[in-house]
Copies of this chain bind each other. A is one copy, B any other.
Amino acid sequence: MFHHVKELQFNARVSKPDVRFAKLLLEQFGGPNGELKAAMQYFVQAFGCRKPHPDKYDMLMDIATEEFSHLEIVGATIQMLLTGVNGELKNAADESDLTKLLDGKAAKENYIHDAMINPHFFLVSGGTPTLTDSVGNPWNAGYIMGMGDLTVDMRTNIAAESTAKMVYENLMKFTDDVYVKESLRYLMTREVAHFQMFQAALDTIQPNFPPGILQSDPKFSNKYFNMSKGEKFSGPWNDGKSPLMGEDWQYIENPHQHVLDTNGLLKEQQEGTYRTEKSVQKVNRELSAERKNEIDDANSSKNGVMQWSTYNNKEDKEKPKKKKIKKSA
């Protein structure tokens, strides 16, 4: 259950209207890396954690709720930047006043020019933010990701925080309003904070590589295919040891010939790895059982009714104390 308090989380201020920056700032209101995307992504991911991972649920809902609060900050800033637009639209009667003075013409020309920047502010939102990115594409739920596996979802969230941080960094180049910059810097900083929260949560899950459960096939996990001929480079991504598994990279100089030689890789041999098919299968079975049990235990229903919340209305429920709990192994 959500509540709202009328004060913004951050005291957003604006020195003067600026329809152009309002347009740019839409990117973080209704864009693919914006606050709504973050809020909805963590909110939706949280459902699956409620029972088996209540600590992660708590964290996801804390951050999701903060992101909704950031969405409100961004929206409020855009609204202040658009001050005057709606009042001017209400000045509707002049449509019937067919005689125009010269001043009126010049003012009108400016007004039309502003409308070209983002017609939606003037025609359909009445000077209110629209849930689009900066070029006008409506927000859509294709932006949000969640696979129901925390080793994947935490990484997805780290990427989301990285891109959001970058957009704020870029946005700061396009305004001189010190008040607006102040808010942008706050919002940018919180993305960095969230990044680290997700990283810390990921680190509590072991093993967390590879993401998911199934181990990679040792025949193929350390091969590098040189698919792009011309100037070539070596780096730790194709030379030396792979960074998370410590296998030796095998560089396939001529992939086409290699594929022909191995009957389409069916005859591929494993090289440069300590893992065996047998060790892989053992890990698969053990980790699979462990992760399945975590979830099944948490979800076992009682008395033929599943219930999301409990409502024992005690005083200490109202003032919950901070409990230290251990993460599950």
Determine whether the beta carbon of A136 is less than 8 Å from that of B139: no
**What separation, in Å, do the CA atoms of A80 and B165 have in the docked complex?**
26
Chain A 101-154 residues near chain B, CB threshold 8 A: 105, 108, 111-112, 115-120, 122-149, 151-152
**What separation, in Å, do the CA atoms of A164 and B133 have in the docked complex?**
23
**A176 neighbours in B (Cβ, 8 Å):** 100, 105, 108
Interface size range on A against B: 35 or more
Determine whether the beta carbon of B155 is less than 8 Å from that of A61: no
**What separation, in Å, do the CA atoms of A311 and B63 have in the docked complex?**
23
Question: Does residue A266 face the partner (Cβ distance < 8 Å to B)?
Answer: yes
**A261 neighbours in B (Cβ, 8 Å):** 313
**A204 neighbours in B (Cβ, 8 Å):** 235-236
**A279 neighbours in B (Cβ, 8 Å):** none
**A4 neighbours in B (Cβ, 8 Å):** 1-3, 61-62, 64-65, 227-229
Chain A 219-234 residues near chain B, CB threshold 8 A: 219-234
Q: For the complex formed, measure the closest distance between the CB of A24 and the CB atoms of chain B, giving whole angstroms.
A: 6
How many chain copies does the complex carry? 6
Determine whether the beta carbon of B260 is less than 8 Å from that of A227: no
**A66 neighbours in B (Cβ, 8 Å):** 225, 227
Interface string of A1-40 (1 = CB under 8 A from B): 1111111111111111000110110010011110010001
Query: Which residue, of A24, A173, A280, has the highest number of chain B Cβ atoms within 10 A?
Result: A173
Determine whether the beta carbon of A235 is less than 8 Å from that of B138: no
Q: For the complex formed, measure the closest distance between the CB of A223 and the CB atoms of chain B, giving whole angstroms.
A: 7
**A130 neighbours in B (Cβ, 8 Å):** 44, 141
**A6 neighbours in B (Cβ, 8 Å):** 1, 61, 228-231, 309
- With beta carbons under 8 angstroms apart, the residue of B195, B256, B281, B310 that contacts A96 is B281
**A221 neighbours in B (Cβ, 8 Å):** 189, 192-193
**What separation, in Å, do the CA atoms of A159 and B162 have in the docked complex?**
11
